[in-house]
Amino acid sequence: MLQRIGKYEILGQIGRGGQGTVYRARDTGLDRIVAIKVIDQSVADDPGYLDALRREAQLAANLDHPNIVTVHAPRPHFSTGFPLCSHSA
């Protein structure tokens, strides 16, 4: 299992789907818990998929509702992490 992605310490796996894995992580710079989606290489090479995911993250970042995660960084992190969201469980 991953232990670290840049400044994010991986604390555990939240879930896995057809496009990637979501991890619970700690932002060591801001000392907060976040969720990072690590996309599978099979979709990471598809520019259309990445554009759609980026648009979805940008739209979600503009929403403010208790049932929608807060998107902190609607862009790729490193080569596989995308997007960075709040996590509260």
CATH label of the domain that carries residue 77: 3.30.200.20
The 10s digit of each residue's pLDDT in 1-56 is 679 888 889 999 999 988 888 899 998 988 989 888 888 888 878 888 878 878 88
Question: For residue 84, what pLDDT is reported?
Answer: 58
pTM: 0.73
Residue 27 structural domain: 4-86
- When divided into structural domains, the chain yields a total of 1
The 10s digit of each residue's pLDDT in 37-47 is 888 888 878 88
SS (H, E, C) the chain: CCCEECCEEEEEEEEECCCEEEEEEEECCCCEEEEEEEECHHHHCCHHHHHHHHHHHHHHHCCCCCCCCCEEECCCECCCEEEEEECCC
